[in-house]
Structures are given as structure tokens and as C-alpha cells.
């Protein structure tokens, strides 16, 4: 090998080393972006959990007061308070599992498992809440017919409010599921990069 070939070979080695360094920097930047996106997603989930938990606690107090004030039966008022308290408790409980997640410093497998558990709680929760809501609507109808002279107007207003509440609740539910799926996708990308 002559001197010129040796110089060209050294230049190629330097270029390869430079390319490797650039690739490593890009991978680090890519990992940081994924970590930031995942952490931002977890922050959004926690923020939603705080908001809906506070709303649930408020609903327990407000609905108990209003239904009692309207003169609904004690059984209906207590049943409503218990139902709303369970809803608030499940929401708060589900979010406790992801409250302390730190994507940058945490075990990614553990974080994935916690997010999957969180998603399962949210998904299974509707298996409980929707039938209970229908039972609650029956007792609302029964109590309103028993105590109000013109129950139809009250019930129509209740149905409209129920439909609006259901739309808001379902949109919030599916948003939480979508956000969780995005964070899980980010975590999986991060795990694949670290392999």
C-alpha cells in the first residue's frame, strides 16, 4: 500500500467515525424527543385524572344536596352518592398507578405494565358503569313519577342532560385511552432503540 492509498484509507476511517458519531447523536436526540413525548403524555393523563377526580367528588356533594333538596327518597339519594363516590374513587385509583412515572429514569418494562394496567382499569370500568347508570335511570324515573306532579318535564330535562353527560364522558374516556396508547407506543419505540 503506498502513501496515497494510506491517506485515503485514513480519511475514510475518519469519515466513518464521524458518521457513527452523528448517528449516535441523532439517536440520543431521537430518544430525548421520545422521552419528552411520553412524559408529556403521562402529564396529560395525570392532569385529566386530577380534573375528573375533583369533578367526581364535587358531583357526589352537589348531586346529594340537589336530589335531597328536590325531595327524592333517601334510598335514591344515598344510592346516587354511593354510585358517584365509586366512580370518583375508581378514577382516582386508576391514576395513582401512573402518578409517579418518570420515563427518563424509570424501568421501561415496569412503566409499560403500569400503563397497560391503567388502560385495563379504564376499559373495564365501563362494564360496571354503564349497567349501573341504566339501573340508576330506572330509579330516577320511579322516584320522579312518585313525587312530582309533572314528572315528564323533569324527566325530559334529565334525559337531555344525561345524553350530554354521556357524550362528554365517552369523549373523555376515549381520549384517555388514545393518550395512553400514544404513550405506550412511545415507550415501545424507546425500548426498541435501546435493544
Average pLDDT over residues 125-142: 83
| Domain boundaries, position 153 | 3-194
How does pLDDT run across 18-52, given as a tens digit for each residue?
666 666 565 555 677 777 777 888 888 888 888 98
pLDDT at 155: 78
Residue 1 has pLDDT above 60, yes or no: no
Residues with Cβ within 8 Å of 144's Cβ and at least 6 positions away in sequence, in order, are 72, 151, 154, 155, 158
Contact 193, 31 (CB under 8 A): yes
Average pLDDT over residues 143-161: 79
Q: Does this model's pTM top 0.75?
A: no
Average pLDDT over residues 131-157: 81
What is the number of structural domains in the chain?
Answer: 1
Long-range CB pairs of 42-46 (<8 Å, 24+ gap) are 42/98, 42/101, 42/103, 42/183, 44/179, 45/95, 45/98, 45/118, 45/176, 45/179, 45/180, 45/183, 46/95, 46/98, 46/99
Helices (H) and strands (E) in the chain, counts: 4, 0
Amino acid at each position: 500500500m503506498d502513501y496515497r492509498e494510506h491517506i485515503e484509507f485514513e480519511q475514510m476511517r475518519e469519515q466513518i467515525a464521524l458518521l457513527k458519531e452523528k448517528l449516535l447523536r441523532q439517536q440520543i436526540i431521537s430518544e430525548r424527543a421520545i422521552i419528552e413525548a411520553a412524559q408529556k403524555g403521562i402529564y396529560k393523563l395525570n392532569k385529566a385524572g386530577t380534573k375528573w377526580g375533583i369533578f367526581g367528588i364535587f358531583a357526589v356533594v352537589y348531586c346529594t344536596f340537589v336530589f335531597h333538596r328536590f325531595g327524592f327518597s333517601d334510598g335514591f339519594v344515598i344510592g346516587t352518592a354511593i354510585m358517584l363516590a365509586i366512580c370518583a374513587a375508581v378514577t382516582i385509583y386508576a391514576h395513582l398507578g401512573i402518578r409517579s412515572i418518570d420515563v427518563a429514569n424509570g424501568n421501561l418494562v415496569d412503566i409499560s405494565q403500569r400503563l397497560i394496567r391503567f388502560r385495563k382499569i379504564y376499559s373495564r370500568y365501563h362494564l360496571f358503569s354503564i349497567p349501573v347508570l341504566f339501573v340508576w335511570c330506572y330509579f330516577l324515573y320511579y322516584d320522579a313519577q312518585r313525587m312530582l306532579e309533572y314528572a315528564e318535564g323533569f324527566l325530559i330535562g334529565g334525559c337531555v342532560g344525561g345524553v350530554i353527560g354521556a357524550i362528554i364522558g365517552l369523549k373523555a374516556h376515549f381520549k384517555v385511552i388514545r393518550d395512553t396508547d400514544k404513550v405506550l407506543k412511545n415507550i415501545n419505540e424507546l425500548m426498541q432503540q435501546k435493544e
